Structure 1
Amino acid sequence: MSARKQARNPGGRPRDSRVDDAIAPAVLQLLGEVGYMRLTMAEVAARAGVGKAAIYRRHATKQEMIFDVLLPDQFLAVAPDRGSLRADLAAVLDEVAEAMTAPPQGTVPGLLADLHADPALRERFDEKYLGAQRRTLMEILDRAAARGELAARPDPAALNALLVGPVFAWLFLLSESPDRLPALTATLLDAVLALTARDPHA
């Protein structure tokens, strides 16, 4: 166990879930009110009605606290099984889009900027967020191959980039409306299937 993880749970004491349940809504409320850059752990503690020490036992930094609130353990933990490659990938895209659009404006870009400045936090992000996506995509591809849907099996990292990168660019670089995401995701799915699916007339 890393020193940072030990610091969040000294001596292996069981955590009080009521504190976690109070922290999460406080973080989300303050992100909406003051924004990512101005949010502080002291404000979260006051809003949640807990001591700062209780927060620091769980989260070494503000970034880790927000990271854990926005990306809970169940994020993409189960690969959807909707009966076809397109339907499975559509379900993944829906969850990814929800994760990007649900937080208050400015949260995701700010958090990602800080992730790249903190190697330890970036490692956790890769393991928890990217790792979950890759495992989910590999399971989806395995099922698609078993159904005979794949002409070629794409690299999971490349597939991940093809699915997630355009959504990120759409929302945070091009500043397009989230309401238009369904049209974008339909185009992405068409592109993926054109690269991977067998010709039904072959």
Structure 2
Amino acid sequence: MSARTQAGNRGGRPRDSRVDDAIASAVRELLAEVGYARLTTAAVAARAGVGKAAIYRRHAGKQEMIFDVLVPGQFLAVAPDRGSLRADLAAVLAEVADSMAAPPPGTIPGLLADVQADPALRKRFDAKYLAAQRRTLTEVLDRAAARGELTARPGPAALNALLVGPVFAWLFLLSESPDQLPALTSLLLDATLALIGAGDPGAPDGSGSEIVT
């Protein structure tokens, strides 16, 4: 039996990766051309050369389509294991910063505003994305505790806020340059480790960098 047939037997017709790629390309192009607020599912379907039904088979709506394209399912879904809490959190912070800085201006704030305004969408967002992030951070904390690196253990939600909140504020509330994110995340890493009772701010990982505005 072919892999295609097996896939069909597991749950109907297998998805065509070419359609997935066309939709993703259309979303990125239209975000850059017209912005988040003016992007529509119909415009994406027309640009991708597919019917709207093909989009709705993959995504529940505009917001989930955009989020799935910009922040794919593997975002923070695998806990880094770099040998120390500092190195693990540095890897997490790099992924957070990249995911927020890469989309066209206005995309992330608009997307999150829509998610917050729709309770059903917020519930799906929490289950699909936040739950994965919390599992990853729990695994990072479990390893750090096993290595004896923690004097006090924060909850994964608190750690998530410590890592994500300042990056969001830097980019979207203060409108500062993404070019300064490496320096910001280095300072943020030191502050986070100090708050949770772990790490050595003098470690040679680039910490102590100054942000020049």
TM-score strictly above 0.5: yes
Q: 2:73–2:129: 8 Å Cα contact kept in structure 1?
A: no
Q: How does 1:109-128 map to 2 (within 5 A)?
A: 109-128=109-128
Question: For the structure 1 residues 49 and 194, does the alpha-carbon distance in structure 2 shift closer, same or farther, using more than 3 Å as the test?
Answer: same
Q: Which residue number in structure 2 is paired with residue 164 of structure 1?
A: 164
Aligned sequence identity (%)? 82
Quote the offset at 1:12 in angstroms: 4.3
Q: 2:152–2:197: 8 Å Cα contact kept in structure 1?
A: yes
Tell me the amino acid that sits aligned with residue 128 of structure 1.
K
Q: Quick one: distance in 1 between partners of 2:89 and 2:112? A: 24
Q: Quick one: distance in 1 between partners of 2:199 and 2:100? A: 33
Question: For the structure 1 residues 24 and 83, does the alpha-carbon distance in structure 2 shift closer, same or farther, using more than 3 Å as the test?
Answer: same
Q: Quick one: distance in 2 between partners of 1:148 and 1:107? A: 40
Match status 1:192 vs 2:192: yes
Q: Quick one: distance in 2 between partners of 1:66 and 1:33? A: 14
Q: CA RMSD in A?
A: 1.6
Which structure's residues are more often helix, by fraction? 1
Structure 1 segments unaligned to the other structure (5+ residues):
1-10
Question: For the structure 1 residues 170 and 199, does the alpha-carbon distance in structure 2 shift closer, same or farther, using more than 3 Å as the test?
Answer: closer
SS where residue 58 of structure 1 aligns?
coil
Question: For the structure 1 residues 151 and 181, does the alpha-carbon distance in structure 2 shift closer, same or farther, using more than 3 Å as the test?
Answer: same
Q: 2:86–2:199: 8 Å Cα contact kept in structure 1?
A: no
Q: Which residue number in structure 2 is paired with residue 75 of structure 1?
A: 75
Q: Quick one: distance in 2 between partners of 1:178 and 1:78? A: 25
Q: 2:30–2:39: 8 Å Cα contact kept in structure 1?
A: yes
Quote the offset at 1:83 in angstroms: 1.0
Q: Quick one: distance in 2 between partners of 1:137 and 1:173? A: 25
Quote the offset at 1:173 in angstroms: 0.2
SS where residue 182 of structure 2 aligns?
helix
Quote the offset at 1:199 in angstroms: 8.2
Q: Which residue number in structure 1 is paired with residue 207 of structure 2?
A: none
Question: For the structure 1 residues 53 and 148, does the alpha-carbon distance in structure 2 shift closer, same or farther, using more than 3 Å as the test?
Answer: same
Q: Which residue number in structure 1 is paired with residue 84 of structure 2?
A: 84
TM-score, length basis structure 1? 0.88
Quote the offset at 1:140 in angstroms: 0.7
Once the two structures are superposed, residues 47-97 of structure 1 have per-residue CA deviations (whole angstroms, 9 ceiling, x without a partner) of 111112211222232112112111211111110111111110010000011
SS where residue 104 of structure 2 aligns?
coil
TM-score, length basis structure 2? 0.84
Question: For the structure 1 residues 199 and 17, does the alpha-carbon distance in structure 2 shift closer, same or farther, using more than 3 Å as the test?
Answer: closer
Quote the offset at 1:29 in angstroms: 0.6
